[in-house]
Amino acid sequence: MDSKSIVIQRIEKKLAASKRTIKVWVPVCLVAGLAFGIWGYQQMTASGPSWIFGVGVALIVIAMALLYDGLTNRKDKFLLEYAKNQPAKIVWIYHHILRMNGVPQESMMIGDDEGNIFKMPIVRKRGQEDELMNALVNTFPQAVIGFSHDLKKLYARNPKQFREQVMQQQ
């Protein structure tokens, strides 16, 4: 599979997961949260504090977080369009590692010329390199690769002129 196909497939997979989250998991968590909340509230009024009410509230909060995440990932349709037809709109690609409780979560961050940053998770299987990293570099050959705080400042200042400013500094 060529690089462009790999990138398009990953973006489509991420968009499908966001759609599934919004259509399935958000309603399930909301209904369960309301059911537990109402039941827990009845328990509280009858016999005092109840953990069931807390579970209901937690499920409603989880539903809202899932909805937020699903809606923010929907902007990835722009990234899909860029990968298919407008690769020059992508100006910056860098590797990002977030450690939560010592467990690394790796992503490729992709910046367009309008100031949007897209996040593509990296999937590693038993020490193998993820093909997404090289596929992104090959699909968007004009993008600046790598991260530094100076690049971050340049990108924040003017994403449209980012590539030209980096070339001038080198």
Digit-coded pLDDT (tens) for 26-58: 999 999 999 999 999 998 888 888 899 999 999
* pLDDT value of residue 128: 67
Which residues sit opposite 121 in a β-bridge? Answer: 107
26-48: b (≥16 Cβ within 10 Å) or e: beebbebbeebbeebeebeeeee
pTM (two decimals): 0.78
* pLDDT value of residue 64: 94
Query: pLDDT under 50 in the chain at which residues?
Result: none
